[in-house]
Amino acid sequence: MLGVCYYPEHWPSSCWADDARKMRALGLEWVRIAEFSWSRLEPESGRLEFDWLDTAIATLGAAGLRVVLGTPTATPPKWLIDQYPEILPVDPATGQVRGFGSRRHYDFSSQVYLREALRISELMARRYGNNPHVGGWQTDNELSCHDTTLSASRAARDAFRAWCRERYQDIDVLNRAWGNVFWSMEYQDFDAIELPVLAVTETSPAHRLAYRRFSSDQVIRFNEEMCRVIRQHSTNQFVTHNFIPPEQTGVDNTRLAATLDFASYDNYPLGHTDILLSTANTETLQRYQRTGLPDVAALRYDQIRGFSNKPFWVMEQQPGPVNWAPNNPRPAPGMVRVWTLEAFAHGADCVSYFRWRQAPFAQEQMHAGLLRPDSSEAPVCAEIRQALRDVSATGLTRQAMATADVAILISDEARWIDAIERQGSAYRHEDILWQYYGALRQLGLNVDIISPTAVLDDYRLLVVPALPLLSAELLAKLQACTATVVFGPRAGAKTEDFCIPQTLAPGRLQSLIDIRVLSVETLRADCHEPLHWQGSSYASTTWREEIASGAAVETLAFFADNTPAVVRQDRIIYLASLTCDAFLRDFLSNLCTELDLETLELPTDLRMRRRGNLNCVFNYANTIQTVPAPDDAEFILGKRQLPPGDIAIWRKQQEPTA
């Protein structure tokens, strides 16, 4: 299914019916509305004006569209802020209030705001909870976007104190847990606790981890409450939320998604590519600026699907140049179709484009829509029509989604630990995730991205590239599962309260592999050193550990000084270093052979995803690429010699489509 984001309040009501008719004519089925409309729903305190929204929903519905209704809570109106200025959040980096005039200007710890957000959401839910045209809800909009999870307000400080009291019970326990004796940081009482902000130099890492856990809980609680009031008044309507890239939320995304019927994602491949490549050389940027990096959409799709292990939605899909990256190129011809079909190949139920018509006013006037500001169609509409024809010709969305054989396990807490204790500026959780994901996808593998709470039973290869905190529950699941597990360096290196485990790293993991990390060093990313494996020389980079291992542990790869770089005990493998891409590719490929997992060697900019028995191949290169498929493969879309920005879908001769 396809959809679009629409803002009836931005246009005269006289054009709504025509817009709706054109949406349907384009083949769109869903339309998301209202997520920023509070000042029109309630222009002043208590004066409700819902008639226009009634009409908009009726008009869209009459044209055959189904509506996703956003709660307007990302944009509290001016009168509300004037009435309760304490709603505004405080920037933890500066201590300054973040003011009115854009969006997301509220504090997750403000009880007043929670009450107001629930009030307006409940009013909407009562009114539209049984509306036949409203198929579902979106809570708020991009929770945490614009760095809004952390706040240094009084409300946040007071709520943090209460959170600490609840978690630690006794102030001495907290002092010990945070190591507060270290610089005379001991507290006498929970009411004396400060937020770890605006201090002269580094605050205790355990204190910062607690603040992040607390802040994540505040966002989750806000969303849970929103879901609760919506569900109280709605029947047969789903509740979802549109996530930003998971590493930007500062929230335990899996827990946030647990309250939803499914998770959604806002997909802006070129905006994110421009940011990701901000320090890349010209050649690399020119190569990908209009296609996006080959994993830029896929990685997100796999992450979002993994939040709830269910089909997901792309709630906002980039249709042309955006306005918010440093540079905003136009997608190469065909790329919107590629991102759309790729979403379906990775398990999307619906792709909804942002936005219907480019706004000629306000902040996003340079952001493309499906229509130009004068209502003429942008070329992307032709790609959308083509994508719909492709879906119906191939039956792609009717294919079953199966659990992959291979999963990457990451956690939000690991990200926070990385941000709190960098140790080496080149060690970056997200870079490591991208590197491992890229290596596995280059082997043509379907990959699930899962959290520590996931069921592990079905996986044959589990890759845990960066997990400094490994809970007792996860350890038990790792012990019980049968997967071969590859750990990256730093696994199990911290306790729940951000200390080095008593038995040294990898702490709890020692019950699976008999090693101790004696010391850690970090190096600048370009300072490579040799790593020897199976007679070949590769590179060790960035983070390197000195390992002592017991008799049951075999050394698979060595550093230049002949000390262990990769070790193994039965089905547990531990890498004591970050490595070059070539090592990961060869090493993981070798493991797949051992595990009897079928792999391919895909050219650099080709990606493949299997859904049911359809092998979908996406060409992110700027040249024709040869699809590596068996000679007798049946191409049901595209061809073996695949042009840039194009898609091929093939299946093995003997396999019928669903």
Residues designated as active site: 142, 316
The residue among 178 and 354 lying less far from ligand GAL, judged by its C-beta, is 354
The residue among 272 and 287 lying less far from ligand GAL, judged by its C-beta, is 272
| Span 39-98, contacts to ligand GAL by CB under 6 A | none
Max Cα distance, the chain (Å):
79
- Asked if 322 is part of the footprint of ligand GAL (rule: CB under 6 A), the reply reads yes
Cβ at position 319, least distance to ligand GAL in Å: 10
DSSP state of 97: B
Cβ at position 111, least distance to ligand GAL in Å: 26
Cβ at position 263, least distance to ligand GAL in Å: 15
User: Angle at the Cα of 371 (from 338 to 382), degrees rounded to 5?
Assistant: 40
Among 268, 498, 559, 587, interactor with ligand GAL by CB under 6 A: 268
Cβ at position 299, least distance to ligand GAL in Å: 18
The residue among 72 and 196 lying less far from ligand GAL, judged by its C-beta, is 72
The residue among 24 and 330 lying less far from ligand GAL, judged by its C-beta, is 330
Cβ at position 145, least distance to ligand GAL in Å: 6
Q: Which helix (H) or strand (E) holds 125?
A: helix 111-128
Look at strands 572-575 and 564-569 and give their pairing. Answer: antiparallel
> Residue 294: which of 341, 342, 337 has the closest Cα?
342
CB 123 within 8 A of CB 48: yes
The CA distance from 473 to 471, in Å, is 5
Q: How many CB atoms lie within 10 A of CB 563?
A: 14
CB 347 within 8 A of CB 299: no
Cβ at position 253, least distance to ligand GAL in Å: 16
The residue among 319 and 506 lying less far from ligand GAL, judged by its C-beta, is 319
CB 120 within 8 A of CB 73: yes
DSSP-derived 3-state class of residue 354: coil
Among 107, 140, 266, 412, interactor with ligand GAL by CB under 6 A: 266
Cβ at position 648, least distance to ligand GAL in Å: 30
DSSP state of 389: H
> Residue 295: which of 447, 186, 193 has the closest Cα?
447
Q: Which helix (H) or strand (E) holds 158?
A: helix 154-168
Residue whose pair of structure tokens reads 């929903």 in the numeric block: 57
Among 287, 290, 357, 367, interactor with ligand GAL by CB under 6 A: 367
Select from 109-117, 285-293, 316-324, 605-613 the region that touches ligand GAL (CB under 6 A).
316-324
**Binding track over 487-526 against ligand GAL, x by CB under 6 A:** ----------------------------------------
Cβ at position 30, least distance to ligand GAL in Å: 16
Cβ at position 249, least distance to ligand GAL in Å: 12
The residue among 270 and 450 lying less far from ligand GAL, judged by its C-beta, is 270
Beta-carbon contacts of residue 218 (< 8 Å; ≥ 6 apart): 108, 109, 149, 156, 159
CB 480 within 8 A of CB 459: no
DSSP-derived 3-state class of residue 282: helix
The residue among 316 and 448 lying less far from ligand GAL, judged by its C-beta, is 316
**Binding track over 329-358 against ligand GAL, x by CB under 6 A:** -------------------------x----
Cβ at position 84, least distance to ligand GAL in Å: 24
CB 20 within 8 A of CB 62: yes
The CA distance from 90 to 576, in Å, is 40
Q: How many CB atoms lie within 10 A of CB 643?
A: 16
Tokens of 606: 């080709």
Beta-carbon contacts of residue 636 (< 8 Å; ≥ 6 apart): 393, 394, 614, 649, 650, 651, 657
The residue among 328 and 541 lying less far from ligand GAL, judged by its C-beta, is 328
Report cis status (omega within 30 of 0) of the bond before 205.
no
The residue among 245 and 465 lying less far from ligand GAL, judged by its C-beta, is 245
- Say how many residues touch ligand GAL, by CB under 6 A: 11
Cβ at position 431, least distance to ligand GAL in Å: 23
- Asked if 274 is part of the footprint of ligand GAL (rule: CB under 6 A), the reply reads no
The CA distance from 646 to 628, in Å, is 15
Cβ at position 538, least distance to ligand GAL in Å: 39
**At residue 238, what are phi and psi to the nearest 5 degrees?**
-80, 160
CB 461 within 8 A of CB 610: no
The residue among 74 and 454 lying less far from ligand GAL, judged by its C-beta, is 74
DSSP state of 84: -
The CA distance from 14 to 30, in Å, is 20
CB 433 within 8 A of CB 599: no
| Span 101-160, contacts to ligand GAL by CB under 6 A | 141-142, 145
The residue among 383 and 413 lying less far from ligand GAL, judged by its C-beta, is 383
SS3 for 18-65 is HHHHHHHHHCCCEEEECCCCHHHHCCECCECCCHHHHHHHHHHHHCCC
First to last CA, the chain: 17
Residue whose pair of structure tokens reads 């060697």 in the numeric block: 601
The CA distance from 293 to 282, in Å, is 14
The residue among 367 and 429 lying less far from ligand GAL, judged by its C-beta, is 367
Look at strands 262-267 and 312-317 and give their pairing. Answer: parallel
Among 107, 274, 316, 497, interactor with ligand GAL by CB under 6 A: 316
The CA distance from 374 to 186, in Å, is 63
- Which chain residues interact with ligand GAL by CB under 6 A? 141-142, 145, 266, 268, 316, 322, 324, 354, 364, 367
